[in-house]
Amino acid sequence: MGAFHTLSVEIGRQFSLEKPCWDQIFLDRVDESCHPERDADIAAVVMAANGLAHVCLVTTHLTINKQRIDVTIPKKRSGSSAQSKSTTKFFEQVYQAILRHVDFSKIKCVLIGSPGFVKDDFYKFLQTEATRRSDRPFIENKNKFVLCKASSGHKHALEEVFADQNIMSRLTETKVAKEVGALHRFMRMMDTDPHQAQYGYLLVQKADEQMAIDTLLVTDELFRSTQVETRKKYVKLVESVREHGGAVYLLSTMHVSGVQLQQVSGVAAILRFPLPELADFDDEEEDTDDDSDSSEDPFENSCEPAVDLNDEF
């Protein structure tokens, strides 16, 4: 028990994955993993004056680094054009990377982040060159570009961008923004009407029994629990909330919003109406349930029959 093997699978190699039980949540996650860029609706570029940039696509579960750009830019010297030429070369490479990797028919927003005025200088370069070259993807989608502040050209600087409320307000139609917006509504509800915002499995599950859940927030970490029974109960909760007409958001702990939700147990709900009686329940039972080992067959009457998957990764 508890043993595992690590296998290296080459990119593009087909293989079959079998397990005794599959539920729809895990089937959906496997499908998303096979086509990670399909659900990306945000593109992001973080860049800095030292010539470092990352061009990324952002989905609800992960940030995909499409290209790293690193151009050596010398320090400014009086009477020297070396810095200007290097900066133009840097901007050109970022320009081409966006043109190559961003599908504007799917992308709803392109974030350009940097410290200082690098982002502004690059955007002026992009506008000028797009007009001169008649690059229609840029000309027709210039309203999708949003300039924002980032501390560096490293990928982790995107965390600062998504933590900025002003930026998130510009991304209202994207999937990531909807998740973050739902989390913020929950936090506000905790302050204004705590009886209509519940967190912790037991209280949320009790609210679902009364079909009171309007919005359910769950971190993906809970579906990776080593306890089979823990995974099963969260799958059952998600499916039940959906059956009752509630909205469900699965937040990745690789995003700032998922980390914040993890701090309040990893599961939370905004209710359709207040349930003050839930204050009488002791949510400490959850810890006991999570740590206990079940002697029952973990797959008995739990989900769909076993299926074979054969997809190209």
pLDDT over 60 at 46, yes or no:
yes
CA triplet 221, 223, 228: central angle to 5 degrees?
Answer: 125
Decide if 261 contacts 248 (C-beta within 8 A): no
Decide if 54 contacts 154 (C-beta within 8 A): yes
On whether both 143 and 263 belong to a single domain, the answer is no
On whether both 120 and 140 belong to a single domain, the answer is yes
Which amino acid would we find at residue 138?
Answer: F
Q: Using one digit for the tens of pLDDT, what is the confidence trace for 183-207?
A: 989 999 999 999 999 999 999 999 9
C-alpha to C-alpha distance for 288 and 38, rounded to whole angstroms: 39
Is there a domain that residue 27 lies in? no
* Structural domain boundaries enclosing 261: 175-290
Is there a domain that residue 295 lies in? no
Q: Using one digit for the tens of pLDDT, what is the confidence trace for 65-78?
A: 999 999 999 877 64
On whether both 123 and 221 belong to a single domain, the answer is no
pLDDT over 70 at 312, yes or no:
no
On whether both 127 and 67 belong to a single domain, the answer is yes
On whether both 222 and 164 belong to a single domain, the answer is no
On whether both 189 and 165 belong to a single domain, the answer is no
Q: Using one digit for the tens of pLDDT, what is the confidence trace for 235-276?
A: 999 999 999 999 999 888 877 788 889 999 999 999 999 999
C-alpha to C-alpha distance for 215 and 212, rounded to whole angstroms: 9
Pairing of strands 42-47, 197-199: unpaired
The domain total for the chain is 2
pLDDT band at 88 (very low <50, low <70, confident <90, very high): very high
Is there a domain that residue 128 lies in? yes
Is there a domain that residue 4 lies in? no
Decide if 40 contacts 57 (C-beta within 8 A): yes
With a threshold of 0.75, does the pTM exceed it?
Answer: no
C-alpha to C-alpha distance for 288 and 88, rounded to whole angstroms: 60
C-alpha to C-alpha distance for 48 and 38, rounded to whole angstroms: 28
Please state, rounded to an integer, the average pLDDT across all residues of the chain: 84
On whether both 194 and 161 belong to a single domain, the answer is no
Contacting residues for 81 by C-beta, under 8 A, at least 6 apart: none
On whether both 51 and 153 belong to a single domain, the answer is yes
